[in-house]
Chain A
Amino acid sequence: MKQFKGRVIAAGEVTAPALVSHGGLNTLASFQKALQFGDKKATCGDQNNPDLYGKQMVGTALCLPQTIGSTTGGMVLYCACAMKRQPACMLFSKPIDSLAAAGAVLADVWVDDVTMPVIDSLGEEFLDYVKDGMRITVDLDGTVTVEE
């Protein structure tokens, strides 16, 4: 077991299995197909992301450095939350980028019945340590506990 402390972007408590992307998450490419064609498990559609392509994102603790790609990214994340196809939480090793931040804020302010904790600045060691399927627990103060 190992603990990491990050900055709270959107507060919440959750426990979920880890899903790890070592490269940036292209939000539009990852979610568009799932949102378009009614995939409730939000299977990642980004062929350029070998870590995530074809894997289900709903209900996972999505661990990533930052998001990349189109500036529709925040809006796509908001849509995923509004359609209840969002990850259980998003855990960023780096400081959050403006697109993911927008998505987190839009979901927090405008979607009433969805909570998606978002923590950033967890450090490179976090992304080096965490592996797919590890059990992740997020606390209100930004503590992230990773269990094998």
Chain B
Amino acid sequence: MAILLNEEQQAILAGSKGETMAKVMRTMIQYGEIFGAERMVPVTSKYNHLVTSFGLKAMTAVYELMDKIIAAGVASEQKFTVDPRPLDKNVPATLLQKAIFNLAMYTKQDEYEAQLKKLGLLDDKSFTCTCYMDEVGNKPAYGEVLSWAESSAVVYANSVLGARCNRNSGIIDIMGSIVGYVPEFGLLTDEGRRAKWVVRINTEKKPEAQLLGSAIGMKVMEDVPYVIGLDKWIGNELDDAACTYLKDFGAATASNGAVGLYHIDGLTPEAREFGESLILEGAQEYVIDDAELERVKASYPVIWKNKNAKPKLCFMGCPHMSLEQLKSWTVKVEEGLKAAGNKKVVIPTVFTASPSVLEAFEATEFAARLKATGVITSYICPLMYMNNPLCKSMPVITSSNKLRTYTSARYYTDDEILVEITKGGKNR
């Protein structure tokens, strides 16, 4: 089906704004036609967000494409934030690992960051996957249409904020922003936001966010789930703690499956507004109890060469941690160390957060307390770190199900991670 274009869109496609802009429009139209879009709708958010933050040598073709766009002078009118930087000298790495990072992998980083500035990067602190945090300021409003691609940000914006965005690919994100229109299909439509699954939470304790998200993602894949019974554990207000929970839950649904939107009964905006009328007739049902979560956890493969190896690094913060998380984890680590009779963490441990959240954290009393425990804070992208072939062979632990899915990092629950880093695992 061909997309009906308005006069302005037709003119752009015909070259009124130059050949490059016409190709950008053609890209977005062809993309929409595959999914049966009938029209192009304006991108209405104040800012855009890009998934590509890394100057990876393998992606040279992308940077050449960005050069074409810059040369044609068709940069977006929207400023944007972008995913986290791949490198931070504060994060432990061997000389050989550093050599691979700097001489073989991210050789285009400086060049690409210069391109980002020309294309409309908001500022130097805008490198994070959690752009929607208050401290960062790229927080779309209910109903706004986005052209984002970062999967954890897309699912958060759709579900927790009620914005509208499809699970786009990198490059599509910037092209939608440049041309100012995205094709209307999928999660941009009322029908596409209705649930094909009902998920009932029947656990006896608060389910681990990352584990619950993983279980749901693997079950429903790209469909929309309507989750009943979770408000019992995380409340009916979207306060800092609930938003942090949903950030981690959503990232796991998006990476362990391909979820772009979920509704939490009694909590998320559309579920509060429309309730169970969001559930499609004939929706499938998935009941989750504690045993089911244990089954899912036990199904994760451990791809370390030596499954009993002592962890050499712990990453927390994929997606980046919130201010609330940094504070609560400071207290947890202090209490864990005290109980174990240790003064410093026993595994090199990195907590990652956006530069703006880290800046806000530094202004609190918790920053010095966390530093005293030996935990390192960083703005790095743990995924980009783990892409180094030498890091892949390292025993790294995490409570991020996204990091587990895309790398060799081993998953532990938050409680298990706390024991590992403050006391050391004895029964590994």
Contact = CB atoms under 8 A, between A and B. Distances in A.
Contacts of B301: 48
Given A102-B31, A110-B23, A71 B59 contact: no
B151 interface: yes
Closest 6 CB pairs of A and B: A74-B169, A82-B61, A102-B169, A35-B58, A75-B170, A36-B58
Nearest to B33: A105
A59 interface: no
B258 interface: yes
Interface of B is mostly: helix
B277 to A, nearest CB: 26
Contacts of B58: 32, 35-36, 79
Given A71-B167, A74-B170, A96-B34, A106 B27 contact: yes
A72 interface: yes
Given A76-B59, A78-B171, 17 more contacts: A32-B387, A37-B104, A48-B301, A48-B303, A71-B149, A71-B154, A73-B169, A74-B171, A74-B172, A78-B61, A78-B65, A83-B60, A98-B35, A98-B169, A103-B169, A106-B27, A110-B65
B169 A75 contact: yes
Interface string A101-134: 1110110111000000000000000000000000
A72 B56 CA distance: 12
Nearest to B301: A48
A148 interface: no
A125 to B, nearest CB: 21
Nearest to A26: B406
A108 to B, nearest CB: 7
A106 B52 CA distance: 15
B157 interface: no
Nearest to A108: B30
Interface of B: 23, 26-27, 30-31, 34-35, 51-52, 56-62, 64-65, 104-105, 149-151, 154, 166-172, 186, 222, 258, 301, 303, 387, 389, 406
B104 A36 contact: yes
Contacts of A72: 51-52, 149, 169-170
B266 to A, nearest CB: 30
A75 B52 contact: yes
A69 to B, nearest CB: 7
A105 B31 contact: yes
A9 B59 CA distance: 24
A36 B55 CA distance: 12
Contacts of B51: 71-72
B60 to A, nearest CB: 8
A79 B65 CA distance: 10
Contacts of A48: 301, 303
A101 B171 contact: no
Interface in A7-38: 9, 28-29, 32-33, 35-37
B222 A97 contact: yes
A75 B59 contact: yes
Nearest to B392: A47
A111 to B, nearest CB: 8
A102 B107 CA distance: 26
A71 B154 CA distance: 10
Interface in A59-83: 68-76, 78-79, 82-83
Contacts of B168: 71, 74, 98, 102
A99 interface: yes
A93 B316 CA distance: 37
A71 B150 CA distance: 6
A35 B59 contact: yes
Contacts of A9: 34
Contact of A75 (B30, B34, B171): B171
Specify which of A28, A36, A72, A101 lies most central, judged by the most chain B CB atoms within 10 Å of its CB: A72
A75 B35 CA distance: 18
28 contacts: A32-B387, A35-B58, A35-B59, A36-B57, A36-B104, A68-B258, A70-B406, A71-B149, A71-B168, A72-B169, A74-B170, A74-B171, A74-B172, A75-B59, A75-B62, A75-B170, A75-B171, A79-B60, A79-B62, A82-B64, A83-B60, A98-B35, A99-B169, A105-B31, A105-B34, A106-B27, A106-B172, A109-B23
